[in-house]
Structure 1
Amino acid sequence: MNSGRPQERLFRGDGGTYDDSVPLPQPPPWRRPRPEDETARRRPYLIGEDEVEVVNAALRLRRPLLVTGDPGTGKSSLAHAVAAELGLGPVLVWPVNTRATLTDALYRYDAIGRLREQQDGTDDIGSFVRLGPLGTALATRHEGRPRLLLIDELDKSDLDLPNDLLFVLEEGEFTIPELARLPEEQAEVAVRVQGSQERVRVRGGTVRCQDFPFVVITSNGERQFPAAFLRRCIWLELPKPEPKQLEAIVRAHFAQDLQQLEAQWPRVLRLIKTFDEQRSLGGLATDQLLHAVYLLQQGVRPEVEHLRKAVLRELGSGGAR
């Protein structure tokens, strides 16, 4: 446990070397690799009752949940929280960018690899088809339950992509042309899925879902989506956490060190006040507050000006200068 005194520096910047007998400190829990089993270590996630009701409406209707809000309000983390609580298995993630296409999310076909195998006298086409995150979400289940797919930052996509998604999300199926062209005697093919060595059987080149996946779509509001797309989604706007909720979030993330945290609580409250004031000026993410509290717990003084500017830097202030 930290005594409250300033900690020894890890990096000294004097050309010396680090004492190998002193272990480097562990990163905060939210900066450690996420386990394959989402239930192995559930990360605290707190939202209001109204937001919980909207999530449950999307779950009951099995409609995509379109989550919007400022950066750092926990849009992506919501998907992992739902999957962990409901036992939906590892979240399938499709990070969208300007080059993303629907085919990328559905499947990949390694034509060159298959050609080489054919030249060697063998031909297992299923070995050269791998379903993408959306394809895997449609084709697989987790212990009898639907999968959860996170489509992250859809507003960064090409203008046509939201409309391209409509048929697949509505019908729960898609066709792989490379398999659809196979003769009848090869109509059933076992193809690989994302994130495991599992294979699923595809007949006639068409992947059909047994159960519609739960789809969480995040957007930072950088552009508007087509009305036809919005009509098929349940929309959730995540608000900025108020100071009292920020206190609850801090307590939840530092639950294993509450005794130490209580001893430093007046300083934590001052950090929350500073965070809330700065957030109204240029925008701050909640994880920046958690970083500041963690440094405080480590004996570092995040309230000093140079660290405050580094750790609690407004997101609207542009790049580092």
Structure 2
Amino acid sequence: MSEWLIYRGTGAPHDAIADLPAPPPWRAFDGGPVVPSPGPVDDVTERRLGLAGDRAGNRARNHRPGARERELVNAALYLRRPLLVTGDPGSGKSTLAHSVAYELGLGRVLRWPIVSRTQLRDGLYQYDAIGRLQDLQFERAASEPPPYAGEPGGGIGRYVRLGPLGTALLPQERPRVLLIDELDKSDIDLPNDLLNVLEEGEFTIPELERIADRVPEVPVRCDDGSTVVIREGRVRCRAFPFIVLTSNGEREFPVPLLRRCLHLYLEPPDKERLAGMVRAHFGDDAARANDSLIDTFLDRAPGDRRAVDQLLNAIQLTRQADWAQEDDTRRRLTAELLRPLDRTR
């Protein structure tokens, strides 16, 4: 394997991220003071954090990217550029982010799921103005000062929480992994709204900027549950995060966004990758036991679209129902579950 690869796609954790060369001068960032980087996330920690640890961990460990996939991931790491990953549902777009985080020991993936109502601020931070107003009203009616009356800014930090993108942009020595999932589901303005943040690697929190002359440091909560101190209402990264933007190809993106990203198209998984996905979910024996079902999944007419979820559903139902291999019910339901997505009849 080439020595320049930081991410190797082997599924084995290592510390090669420490060998990542300095960024290009136009992608160097100087945020600070440095905040602690998260340590590797093991299965126990993932379960405690409610991260569906076994599933995410197994998928990350069993993901085996092809040469082009490995090369573009490493190009994004070297150049400090986001990676726009497109492909059919179930092709491994989201799993790629988990694989990079797991192998390079970069902590849990910060995930920002996109819907049609998502705005840039949702990813950067949330400020609970209504909650603060209600608490102020209760305070005025109470005879004793609230327990956080002595906190900076009267406890304003209690009402500010950094979002996934905001947390990823904290000044850390090692990059965080951020998954911006299904960007093609967004409002038409969000891709353009992202441009400045992705280029500058920083943002401000106006609610904290306004009090910066009186309260320059305010502790706030992050998307991963940790607490950091925000200085003068400004967040600027130090190590640009490894950002994976996924798209199912349902829309085109503006050229300015494409210019700031590297683009990776994931081909539909072949038999070897499908067997790896089955092993990740059901164990080593499941891939051998369902070899014919994998072949059935791959046997499709030109233009037919199927998602890996359909194959996993068919295997799960087969295992739970304990049908015989030649059972008519098994064959009939398997055909229904593996029906091409663009065919309604």
TM-score w.r.t. structure 1 length? 0.78
Query: Larger deviation: 228-237 or 44-53?
Result: 44-53
Deviates more, 1:144-153 or 1:224-233: 144-153
Q: Return the alpha-carbon distance in structure 2 between the equivalents of residues 99 and 156 of structure 1.
A: 9
Quick one: distance in 1 between partners of 2:117 and 2:278?
Answer: 37
Amino acid at match of 1:90: R
Corresponding position of 1:233: 261
CA contact (8 A) 1:39 1:87 kept: no
Greater mean alpha carbon deviation, residues 288-297 or residues 104-113: 288-297
Q: What is the CA–CA distance in structure 2 between the aligned matches of 1:231 and 1:146, rounded to whole Å? A: 21
What CA distance in whole angstroms lies between the structure 1 residues aligned with 2:271 and 2:74? Answer: 26
Unpaired stretches in structure 2, ≥5 consecutive residues:
1-49, 140-144
DSSP-derived class of the 1:292 partner: helix
Q: Give the letter aligned to residue 124 of structure 1.
A: G
* 1:67 correspondence with 2:85: yes
1:50-61, aligned counterparts within 5 Å?
50-61=68-79
Partner of 1:208: 236
SS in 2 for 1:168: helix
Name the residue aligned to 1:138: 169
Q: Kindly indicate whether the alpha-carbon contact (under 8 Å) linking 1:261 and 1:297 is maintained by their aligned counterparts in 2.
A: no
Give the corresponding residue for 1:108.
126
Pairing 1:189–2:218 present: yes
Shift of 1:192: 1.0
**Kept after mapping to 1: 8 A contact 2:55/2:281:** no
User: SS of the counterpart of 1:194?
Assistant: coil
What residue is the counterpart of 1:21 in the other structure?
none
For 2:334, the equivalent position in structure 1 comes to: 308
Say whether the 8 Å CA contact 1:44–1:253 is kept in structure 2. Answer: no
Question: Residues 202 and 236 of structure 2 are in contact (CA less than 8 Å); yes or no, is this contact kept in structure 1?
Answer: yes
Change (3 A) 1:36 1:207: farther
Between the aligned partners of 1:73 and 1:104, the Cα distance in structure 2 is 27
Question: Displacement of 1:47 after TM fit?
Answer: 2.4
RMSD, matched Cα: 2.7
State the Cα distance separating 1:62 from its structure 2 match.
1.6
1:176 is matched with which residue?
205
Gaps of 5+ in 1: 1-31
Q: Report the CA distance between 1:48 and its aligned residue.
A: 1.3
- Residues in 1 aligned to 2:275 and 2:134: alpha-carbon distance in whole angstroms: 59
Which amino acid is the alignment partner of residue 102 of structure 2? A
- Cα separation, 1, equivalents of 2:188 and 2:332: 41
Q: Which amino acid aligns with 1:222?
A: E
Distance 2:336 2:107 in 1: 36
Cα shift readout 1:31-71 (whole Å, capped 9, x = no counterpart): x9622997698442122112111111111112100000111
Cα separation, 2, equivalents of 1:211 and 1:276: 41
**Structure 1 residue 290, shift from structure 2 partner:** 3.5
Map 1:228-267 → 2, pairs under 5 A: 228-251=256-279, 254=282, 256-258=283-285, 262=288, 264=289
Letter in 2 for 1:93: R
Aligned length: 279
- C-alpha contact 2:310 2:338 (8 A) present in aligned 1: yes
Aligned to 2:248: 220
Report if aligned partners of 2:212, 2:233 keep a CA contact under 8 Å in 1.
Answer: no
Evaluate the alpha carbon distance shift between residue 290 and residue 216 of structure 1 in structure 2; reply closer, same or farther with a 3 A threshold. Answer: same
What SS is found at the alignment partner of 2:214? helix
1:86 partnered with 2:112: no
Secondary structure of the structure 2 residue equivalent to 1:278: coil
Amino acid corresponding to residue 314 of structure 1 in structure 2: P
Deviation by residue 1:191-212 (Cα, 9 ceiling, x = unmatched): 111131x221112211111221
Percent of pairs with identical residues: 54
